[in-house]
Amino acid sequence: MNRSLLFLFAFCIATAQAQSPVSLIPQPASVQPRTGVFSLTKSASIHYNKPEAQGVADMLGLRLNVPTGFGIAARPGKTGTIQLNLTDARQAELGDEGYTLNSSPKGVVITANRPAGLFYGMQTLLQLLPAAIESKTVVKTARTWTLPAVWIVDHPRFGWRGIMLDVSRHFFTKDEVKRYIDQLARLKYNTFHWHLTDDNGWRIEIKSLPKLTEVGAWRVARAGHFGDRAEPKPGEPATYGGFYTQDDIRDVVAYAQARNVTIVPEIDVPGHSMAALAAYPELSCTKAIVSVNPGTSFSDWYGNGTFKMKVENTLNPSDEKVYEFLDKVFTEVAALFPNQYIHVGGDECYKGYWAQDPGCQALMKKLNIRHVEDLQGYFMGRVEKILTAKGKKLLGWDEILEGGISPGATVMSWRGIKGGIEAAKEGHNVVMTPTTFAYLDYNQGEVTIDPPIYATLRTSKSYSYEPVPDGVDAKYILGGQGNLWTEQIPTLRYAEYMTYPRAWALSEVFWSPKEAKSWPDFVKRVETHFDRADVAQINYSKAIYDAIVKTSMNNGKLRLELGSEAPGLDLYYTIDDTMPDSFSTRYNQPIDLPEGPVTLRVITYRNGKPIGHLITLSRDALQKRVGRG
């Protein structure tokens, strides 16, 4: 080969390497691809320039060594092929969580002001390596461990980037919680909201109130759809459940701290307290004996958002013993969790029992309040004083605005964005977590495919979210959070399925610059992360590949419109009771359905191969969708 051809060949290779896609989630603030690659070999070294960086360096060594089998050790120094450097002079642009990453054929340098920034830079470095780096065992097949040359400057948009896990409806072991936290940390989430108490189980040891876990942590075993289960039978043993000892809590907190994740515990009061009342029934208005709820229908919900409880699940705001109880609870909770917040719930508090209780009526008269709803404001004020005495700040769902709260209270807006807007305009800090964009327990796609739940939230909708509403001062919006309620989620594997890829989408909403968001580009990166999740043995939904079926009426005929979240898919359908494939009718315009007992069958293809689920909908099912959007 002559010298000119050799140069051209080398140039083409270098150009291809420089233009190879960088598929990172969340998208960094700035990514500049460069020419060449860095090859990780047995001779690689990890050095860190300051003792505070050692924890991240050791963690990186472990992450690299497990799949490669190299045995790379981290040690102090400034000449490593992978260098982790804390700055001597703070770079204002990076803040506490930002970093720069400079990779070249010579090596990789990650620089940050704080160890948190190095940690997030490490996550980016790992995503630049092949998917096999996610393996939990040594990869025995021959492989080249390379990452592209690139210059990255990165820092988060919001300081609060959270995911909530409900462990009351279904108990997850300490190790499962740690695995979930580890997954979130890799996506640059920094807050884990731990929903520890509710009607269906009390999950945290309170040593001064032992019955909370002796009784409140256990319920009768039941199978089937949550909300449709049978009531406990007299004398039936309560065998399903569990709780975390205080040593368990300390272990999980330390695990999270090492991954720059703050744990915010939630003790949900005054409603959602049936598990607590099963242990201490004297704290309710009626003093009635109740059981930890196993998933029965214990409330009636009306179309206007109001509801009525069939069984009391609310603490009595007029009873001083309730506040003595809460003082004991929060004393022990505050000692276990070093962060500044304790979440106190405050949502869906049914006040019907308060309205009928003589003690509550006397308290209302004493306080000169006319509406029973205002008792919640009184209750939350008392709770806030308890928390303040322990050096903690009150955080609650947006219902805590009812009845008034102190200026120092922080609001988590879940019933849409209205509560967040109201709270911010009153000068409260707000975490945005609306059902319409952030509820991870909702179906991800076609409702006939996944097990039924009461609403749908597609990944594209989560990705479209903008946490700062128009007309609101951004300084009050701390950030956002996705919430995973677990009525229908009994295992960690299914929790993962419901979390991803929507938590990938929300991670980008909360971390990346607003102007950097692009749904078509995000889908491409999601598909590379499907491969990475497969290697990491993390479950996820592929609903973005499924057809979306919308219906309307057109001149008396039922009209069908088909689409998909992922761009570039071909949709094939039948309405003649045959199974569709790539030789069936390809969808390219709305379909007016002929009269008769017609059934739609539709499936998505890419490059001539099926990629989505087969969806089958009868005429009646299609008719019911008219007007739903």
Is residue 10 over pLDDT 90? no
Q: Pick from 120, 154, 188: which residue ends a domain?
A: 154
Q: Which of 47, 155, 193, 272 is catalytic?
A: 272
Closest CA to 611 of 545, 548, 562, 567: 545
Q: Which of 154, 198, 205, 496 is catalytic?
A: 198
The residue type found at 189 is Y
Task: Please confirm, yes or no, whether 384 is among the known catalytic residues.
Answer: no
Q: Are residues 433 and 322 in the same domain?
A: yes
The confidence score (pLDDT) of residue 229 equals 96
The answer to the question of residue 60 being in a domain is yes
Q: Are residues 535 and 550 in the same domain?
A: no
Q: Report the number of distinct structural domains present in the chain.
A: 3
Is residue 20 over pLDDT 80? no
Q: Report the Cα 245 to chain-centroid distance in Å.
A: 24
The answer to the question of residue 588 being in a domain is yes
Residues linked to residue 574 through DSSP beta bridges, in sequence order? 601
pLDDT band with cut points at 50, 70 and 90 for residue 13: very low
The answer to the question of residue 496 being in a domain is yes
Q: Are residues 512 and 608 in the same domain?
A: no
Q: Are residues 262 and 362 in the same domain?
A: yes
Q: Are residues 417 and 472 in the same domain?
A: yes
Out of 37-41, 79-83, 140-144, 203-207, which region has the weakest mean confidence (pLDDT)? 140-144
- In the β-sheet with 82-86, what is the strand arrangement from edge to edge? 30-40, 145-154, 99-104, 107-112, 82-86, 46-48, 74-76
The confidence score (pLDDT) of residue 629 equals 65
Q: Which residues, 6+ apart, have CB-to-CB distance to 358 below 8 Å?
A: none
Q: Report the alpha-carbon distance of residue 522 to residue 24 in Å, rounded.
A: 9
Average pLDDT, the chain: 94
The confidence score (pLDDT) of residue 15 equals 35
Q: Report the alpha-carbon distance of residue 223 to residue 208 in Å, rounded.
A: 33
The confidence score (pLDDT) of residue 143 equals 86
Is residue 434 over pLDDT 90? yes
Element (H, E) at 387: helix 374-389
Task: Please confirm, yes or no, whether 327 is among the known catalytic residues.
Answer: no
Q: Are residues 182 and 327 in the same domain?
A: yes
Peptide bond just before 270 cis, omega within 30 deg: yes
In this predicted model, which residue has the larger pLDDT, 219 or 6?
219
Task: Please confirm, yes or no, whether 166 is among the known catalytic residues.
Answer: no
> CATH no. for residue 619?
2.60.40
Q: Are residues 115 and 208 in the same domain?
A: no
Is residue 201 over pLDDT 50? yes
Q: In this structure, are strands 585-586 and 197-198 parallel, antiparallel, or unpaired?
A: unpaired
Q: Are residues 472 and 590 in the same domain?
A: no
The answer to the question of residue 338 being in a domain is yes
Q: Pick from 154, 173, 203: which residue ends a domain?
A: 154
Q: Are residues 289 and 404 in the same domain?
A: yes
Is residue 1 over pLDDT 80? no
Q: Which of 205, 266, 319, 348 is catalytic?
A: 348
Burial degree of 122 (CB within 10 A; 0-12, 13-18, 19+) = buried
What is the per-residue DSSP string for 208-262?
Answer: T-THHHHTTTEE----SSTTSPPPPPTT----EE--B-HHHHHHHHHHHHHTT-E
The confidence score (pLDDT) of residue 21 equals 67
Q: Are residues 392 and 484 in the same domain?
A: yes
The residue type found at 499 is T
Burial degree of 471 (CB within 10 A; 0-12, 13-18, 19+) = exposed
pLDDT band with cut points at 50, 70 and 90 for residue 305: confident
Is residue 142 over pLDDT 90? no
pLDDT band with cut points at 50, 70 and 90 for residue 403: confident
Residues linked to residue 604 through DSSP beta bridges, in sequence order? 571
Please give the model's pTM, rounded to 2 decimal places. Answer: 0.95
Mind listing the pLDDT tens digit for each residue in 338-387?
999 999 999 999 999 999 999 999 999 999 999 999 999 999 999 999 99
> CATH no. for residue 19?
3.30.379.10
Q: Pick from 500, 517, 539: which residue ends a domain?
A: 539
> CATH no. for residue 474?
3.20.20.80
**Domain boundaries, position 559:** 546-624
Q: Are residues 358 and 424 in the same domain?
A: yes
| Structure-derived torsion over alpha carbons of residues 374, 375, 381, 387, reported in degrees to the nearest 10 | -140
| Structure-derived torsion over alpha carbons of residues 413, 416, 418, 419, reported in degrees to the nearest 10 | -20
Counting Cα atoms < 13 Å in the Cβ hemisphere of 8 gives 5
Mind listing the pLDDT tens digit for each residue in 207-255?
999 999 999 999 999 999 999 999 999 999 999 999 999 999 999 999 9
Is the CB of residue 521 less than 8 Å from the CB of residue 463? no
Is the CB of residue 112 less than 8 Å from the CB of residue 94? yes
Closest CA to 543 of 505, 585, 593, 488: 505
The answer to the question of residue 629 being in a domain is no
The confidence score (pLDDT) of residue 4 equals 41
The confidence score (pLDDT) of residue 11 equals 35
Q: Are residues 26 and 48 in the same domain?
A: yes
The confidence score (pLDDT) of residue 302 equals 83
